[in-house]
Structure 1
Amino acid sequence: MTAEVTLPYTAITYTVAEGIATVSLNRPETRNGYTLTMAHELEHAFLAADANPAVRVVVFTSVGRDFSVGADLSGGGFDLAPSGPVDDWQEPAGRCSKTIFGMNKPVIAALRGVSVGGGVTITLSCDFRLASTDSRFSFPFSRRGIFPEGGSVWYLPRLVGVSKATDWMLTGRLFGAAEALDAGLVTSLHDPADVLDAAYALARDIIANTSPVSTAVIRQMLNQLSELESPLPVHAIDSRLIAGLPAHSDAVEGVSSFLEKRPPHFPLSVPEGLPQWLPWIETDPTP
């Protein structure tokens, strides 16, 4: 896949090619230890990918044999240094997971080797986590005398259930790829040499066969609505979306391509084609 480097960074790399943005942790000499610089750059890169109309899907991966060993402790402690009041400060892993959560574009994590602490919590808001058979995971906070971050106590029980999340969080133990797959933490397992190719194949399938607008709306419906106490507010949003289908050009194309047995060519794009009334979309209040 021909790649074009579009943005310069020091702790990550960012490329765009064929509708796919690839965001890679790039500190292999530290096993991709997580730093404030990495947090800044990841937030910037994911926002850039989401705003770029040429990007349909993001693949989140790493350079080197490990995805990330979590916080870089090489300095003997945590490189945090809040610059302002603590009440306004956002911890570094959460800045990444929060940014991914708010995106319109699907994000596929391709994981190899070790993903522990912040090195796994930053992936929990991704839509897919593809892992290699040599992957190992840990939420080691209790073993370091620290606390969970990245919004992980919200994401993890949604993915694997409270019982398994409690096991992993309270013990902080290391567990392997098979256990992660069985619990639902990862979507699929692949040979180490094949996991990135599998992520790109999934991305290409999404690009070729799905509507960007439908994908964006469904992604945020899952994120914003699936944990509501009642289905009734969801039904109200469903009803308004479905009522608009006769005038929705992507729906017209989706039905036509199905009946004509041809690949779809959806005309709408993100964010322009999104229904602006959706409750999670922030609109510009200026006239």
Structure 2
Amino acid sequence: MGDNDYREITYRVADRTATIALNRPEARNGYTVRMADELADAFDRADHDPGVRVVVLTAEGTDFSVGADLSQGGFDFDAGAGPAPDWQEPAGRCSKRIFTMNKPVIAAIRGAAIGGGITITLSADYRLASTDARFGFVFVRRGIYPEGASAWFLPRLVGMGRAMDWMISGRVFGAEEAHAAGLVHSLHDPDRLLDAAYELATDLAANTAPVSVAVTRQLLYRMSALDSPFPVHEVDSKLIASVSGNPDAVEGVLSFLQKRPPEFRLDPERDLPDFLPWVQT
């Protein structure tokens, strides 16, 4: 799928940052099956592009997304009369692809982020929000169910008690509450939100090692929920033992001692350690 094939998102790359934007502002970026699949394709494209170090997920218009597009009086599902056993609901198509990314993802959220409009961002590394942002896991108020694997992600971000409150009540809440609970990392004036996201992206692209970032984000996601630290330490030990032959580790130390920007060379596409439990050889 190329740039000309995207109808409901936009995609561009500049300064080692890919910007993926929801692009249905006339519908307040209502979420559709096509949007879900375009997002999954765009994240896949960014992950495999050696010229991209960071992804910023944002939206055109004044709302991030009001959730599932209900403009036709129902849900835009492609499951037909009876979904196939391997049918995947649309929000999870995006959140799962972000989960598997080797590159950090920064979600910049302005205005309404409701239902699927917030669940698709829960696997991002950062969520930055405007002071006018509003959030809601409103599924129970529509007689439906949480999606996007949000029942897995949300408690890990804000704790079970807060996740229960937001999901069982389905109430809409503001940016201050989201920030205090840890759902979003920082708040910004609406006109400064994207600038803040790009400033963070620039710092990550300039000062972090791509393979180190890829390994670290997957260590956190895939191993932090284990019931013992011992399997994690086994992986840690293999990683640290490999440092002596790691040119990025040498460069990291040299650039620090020489007080210059680092020039990391390893690429997650080809240089991930093959002993990692989630790496398919």
TM norm. shorter chain > 0.5: yes
Q: What are the within-5 Å matches in structure 2 for residues 184-223 of structure 1? A: 184-223=182-221
**Alignment RMSD, CA only?**
1.1
User: 2:38 maps to which residue?
Assistant: 41
1:85 to partner: Cα distance: 4.5
User: 2:71 maps to which residue?
Assistant: 74
**Following the alignment from structure 1 to structure 2, what is the Cα–Cα distance between the partners of residues 78 and 247?**
53
Residue by residue over 1:69-125, the C-alpha shift from the partner in whole angstroms, topping out at 9 and shown as x without a partner, is 000001111111316753210000000000000010100000000000000000000
User: 1:279 maps to which residue?
Assistant: 277
User: 2:164 maps to which residue?
Assistant: 166
Residue by residue over 1:136-193, the C-alpha shift from the partner in whole angstroms, topping out at 9 and shown as x without a partner, is 0000001000000000000000000000000000000010000000000000000000
Is the CA contact 1:7–1:14 (under 8 Å) kept in the aligned structure 2? no
Secondary structure of the structure 2 residue equivalent to 1:214: helix
Secondary structure of the structure 2 residue equivalent to 1:216: helix
1:8 to partner: Cα distance: 3.9
Is the CA contact 1:6–1:16 (under 8 Å) kept in the aligned structure 2? no
**Compared CA separation, residues 88 and 21, structure 1 to 2 (3 A):** same
**Following the alignment from structure 1 to structure 2, what is the Cα–Cα distance between the partners of residues 139 and 85?**
24
Is the CA contact 1:7–1:15 (under 8 Å) kept in the aligned structure 2? no
Identity of aligned residues (%): 64
User: 1:107 maps to which residue?
Assistant: 105
Secondary structure of the structure 2 residue equivalent to 1:10: coil
Q: What are the within-5 Å matches in structure 2 for residues 109-148 of structure 1? A: 109-148=107-146
**Compared CA separation, residues 50 and 253, structure 1 to 2 (3 A):** same
With the length of structure 1 as denominator, give the TM-score of the two structures: 0.95
**Following the alignment from structure 1 to structure 2, what is the Cα–Cα distance between the partners of residues 6 and 249?**
35
Is the CA contact 2:19–2:56 (under 8 Å) kept in the aligned structure 1? yes
**Following the alignment from structure 1 to structure 2, what is the Cα–Cα distance between the partners of residues 95 and 188?**
26
**Following the alignment from structure 2 to structure 1, what is the Cα–Cα distance between the partners of residues 65 and 101?**
22
Is the CA contact 2:33–2:78 (under 8 Å) kept in the aligned structure 1? no
2:25 paired with 1:59: no
2:261 pairs with 251, 260, 263, which one? 263
Secondary structure of the structure 1 residue equivalent to 2:271: coil
Number of corresponding residues: 279
Structure 1 unaligned segments of length 5 or more: list them: none
**Following the alignment from structure 1 to structure 2, what is the Cα–Cα distance between the partners of residues 172 and 257?**
49
2:18 paired with 1:21: yes
One-letter amino acid matched to 2:97: T
**Following the alignment from structure 2 to structure 1, what is the Cα–Cα distance between the partners of residues 178 and 274?**
38
One-letter amino acid matched to 2:50: P
Secondary structure of the structure 1 residue equivalent to 2:12: strand
**Following the alignment from structure 1 to structure 2, what is the Cα–Cα distance between the partners of residues 227 and 200?**
31
Residue by residue over 1:30-87, the C-alpha shift from the partner in whole angstroms, topping out at 9 and shown as x without a partner, is 0000001101100100001001111100000000000000000011111113167532
User: Which deviates more, 254-263 or 59-68?
Assistant: 254-263
Residue by residue over 1:195-235, the C-alpha shift from the partner in whole angstroms, topping out at 9 and shown as x without a partner, is 11100000000011000010010011011111111000000
Is the CA contact 1:97–1:124 (under 8 Å) kept in the aligned structure 2? yes
Is the CA contact 1:131–1:188 (under 8 Å) kept in the aligned structure 2? yes
